[in-house]
Every structure is written in C-alpha cells, then in structure tokens.
Structure 1
Amino acid sequence: KFPVWGEMLNHFPPSIAAETRYLNSSNRDLADHFQRKLGDENGVDASIEKKISPKLLEFTFQELKSATVNFRPDSILGEGGFGYVFKGWIEPNSTAPAKPGTGLTVAVKSLKENALQGHREWVAEVDFLGQLHHKHLVKLIGYCIEDDQRLLVYEFMARGSLENHLFRRTLPLPWPCRMKVVLGAAKGLAFLHVGPKPVIYRDFKTSNILIDAEYNSKLSDFGLAKAGPQGDKTHVSTRVLGTYGYAAPEYVMTASESFCWRC
C-alpha cells in the first residue's frame, strides 16, 4: 500500500509525523554532523574537465536564458535544494534556442547560489548521466558552466514526477499506470546495480522518478550517486546520505559509516 517508508507520514500519530517532517527539512544530507568532505566521496573528481562526455552539448548561459525565455516564472517545472527547473526549447541536435512551442522541449536545471546541492553534486550528475544510457534513466542533453553559473539540460518529461501524481493531483493515478511506473523505476535501479560499472544511487524517492507522456518512468538526480564496487571488490564505504523518510530508519539512526554491498 505504501511504496516507500516516507509516504506513511500521514498515517503516523501527530507527534511522530511532526518529528519526521522536522527531520525531513534537512533533506539531502541525513545528519548535520556529517560534514561534506573535499575528497573523492562520490567516486568522482570535482574537476569538471575530467568528467565531460563528448556526447554532451555545451551551452552558453545566454543560449539557455533565451531557450527558457529569460527564465520566466511561468516556465518553472519544479524546485529543489539545487534551485529551479525551467521548461525550455532548443533546436534539435544543437545548442541554439528555439521559439517556445517549437524545436525540442527540454528541462533546464539551474543551480542557485548557496544551494544545498553544490558544485560537487553537479559534477557527479554530469559524470554519471554523461556516461550512463538506459531507457529508464533520464537523458542528460548538455550543460552550462560559465563563471558562477551551473546549469544542466535534460529531456523533458511531460508528466512530471511520481511525487506530483501521488500527493498533488486531484485525480489518482490508475493502478495499471502505477505498476508501469514502478516497474520502470525498478529496471532503472537494476541497471545501475548490475552494469559493468555499478552505481549506488542513494536518493531513490518519488520526486526523483520522472514520467513521460506514455507513463514510462526514468530515474533522475544523480547528485548523490556513488561509484560501486568493481573487480574483486565486494563493497565500498560511504557516509550516510539521502533523504529522511526515504532511507531505512535503522540506517539513518545507527550508521556514521556504512558498507554498501554489491547487489
């Protein structure tokens, strides 16, 4: 009945629900005393030059400003710890902006200053989605790194996130569609775990499951992803990261360092 632990909130006693919502306010890093290290925590280097896939398009800030019609408020698709996601239009296979309603529709994620999701997580997103390609992972089209600007350009997912359908829509999502979405998300996660270069996702939740017009689901937001074990290694060490309410409670409350085993 409850797809993930966090969705049981409304069924908890008021005191527990209030405490959980308070914990949820810290969102991405599960404990304040776990300070982000400057080392190679994600298995990626913070130097963007080493991580860019030649298949990704490099946009200028002005091109994305034009593509989103000056980042106008009515084009906002969503908001998170990183900043805002805007709807935009570009010419196919090009960085050139297109007129609204023409060309290729895209989603443009803009990292705001002092965002919870910082440069290192932005680099992780470029690194993983620039190399990983699967029908159940959202497609990263390109990026912009210009002065202090950090933006990412993704394929547009017409039906938004699973979270919106479960909690913010008046019409419930039909069960056949729910099953299709869940199966697609599971296939995306399985691909990450059993691929030639395993990836530990670490932020599996309804807001990171996006849905296209045909109710195909894709995993998004790889800012907390970590390279998994390879070769003869069977595990990797990692700090506690994720979102309160979506990670196993015993993992959150008892682990300062944990081992993520190969699935």
Structure 2
Amino acid sequence: MTFPFFLAAILDFGRHLGKSEPIKFSYLITEHLVCDPLDSLITSDSSAQGELSSTMSVTEVMKMLAGILEGMEVLKSYGFLHPGLSTKKILYTKQGQCKLYDFCLAEDAPKIIAFKKTQDEVSKSLNLFPPEALFRSEYTAESDVWATAIVIWEVIADGKPPFAVDKEIKPGDTIIAPNLLWPERFLQLRNFLLFDCWSENCSLRPSIHQLRASFKTIFEKLIDHSFYEIPMATLYTPMVSSCVEEQ
C-alpha cells in the first residue's frame, strides 16, 4: 500500500529557515512509501494482523512509541497540531518507522475539530476527542497530549481504546481517567505519567516533551540492562529528489 507522507518534506525544508521566520504552509513535497496504517497492525481481533500484533516484541514497541513521540514533539516545535490523531493517522513502513500525516497549523485546529464533529461516521467519544474538543471545539497542544496518550495505549493494548466506546459523555459530566491495568507483556514499559495525560483540566496534563522524556528514560534503562537495540535514532531523514520505494 502506497501513501503520501508530508512531514519529512516540511521538516527537511524547515531546517533551512531562521527561527524568526514562521512556517506558513501545509506541505511542499510528497514522498511515496510502502506503508500500512498502524491500526491494521495492532488490532486485537483474530485476523492475520491480530496474530502479528500478538508477536510484537518490546523492542518493536519501543521503536514505535519513540517514533510517535518524536514526531509529535517535532510537530509542536514547528507550530503544528494534529487534531484527529489516531492509529489510523499513523503509517508504519516496512523498515518499522512510524510516519505522521494529516496535521495542520495550530491556528486551524479548532476549525478542523468542529468540522470532524459534523461527520456522522466519526465516533464522538473520548478516544477520538479530548473533552475540550468534544464539548467546545477547542484544540491546543494539551489536546495533542491527550490524543498521543490514546494512541500509545492502543499500541500496547492491541488496539483496545482506554475509554468506553459506548458511554455517552455530556457537557458538565466529570471526566475520570479510566482505571486501567498495564498490559502484562509490556510491563517493562509501564509509565504512569501516561494516565495524567487524560486529566480533564488541560493545565494538569504533562507536555508532549515531558511525556517523551519520561518514556525515553524507561527505554534507556531497559537498553542499559538488557540486550535491546537502541531505537532512539532520529527517524526523520532528509529527502532526496526521487524517493520512491518499490513494493
């Protein structure tokens, strides 16, 4: 399956811009890669993909989470947000790299959220919308933290979302972080800061930088005391003039 990937192009060009010069574009170049959507690899059903997900190693999940967190932090540093972030909006390459797409300028995020909520096929749940987006169509960097934590949980829990999918949430309801048990086969990656990302109060959520740093500390301890390969290398490489990967 071939998808366009825009983030590498933006970052590659952005490195040549001065810090004082704002980036005011959505994309410059497209890079075609052979990818699958991440949700098809982590689903917990009995399909072939489900069988594959049950064999994902700690090393593979570490690399996956490291790539997602790095990508989200880089997006924030360039003034982008990712309303609608989910495992469907992350591509996974044959080389085991996660690629983010369909993000936007921070100033456009509330309008995109408002539009997404008008679509009948989109579930109006806390697994897809943080409370401020669901109730008020607000979307900030703290909203990205909520969404990133949802994605991380689904990766380690075979695609199972943290919040109930059939519970109707109404304005004024108290949002309580779900009482979850960390999946046993990934106990080595246990990070309780993840649950703070689902605070109803945006100011109580950690930043994406803090979340990434907390996981990086866990990864480094595992690497220091085991045979794990280091999955921390920068995943965003400069593009070349022709970058098409054949199936």
Question: Which structure shows the higher strand fraction?
Answer: 1
TM-score range, shorter-chain basis? Answer: 0.3 to 0.5
When normalised by structure 2's length, the TM-score is 0.37
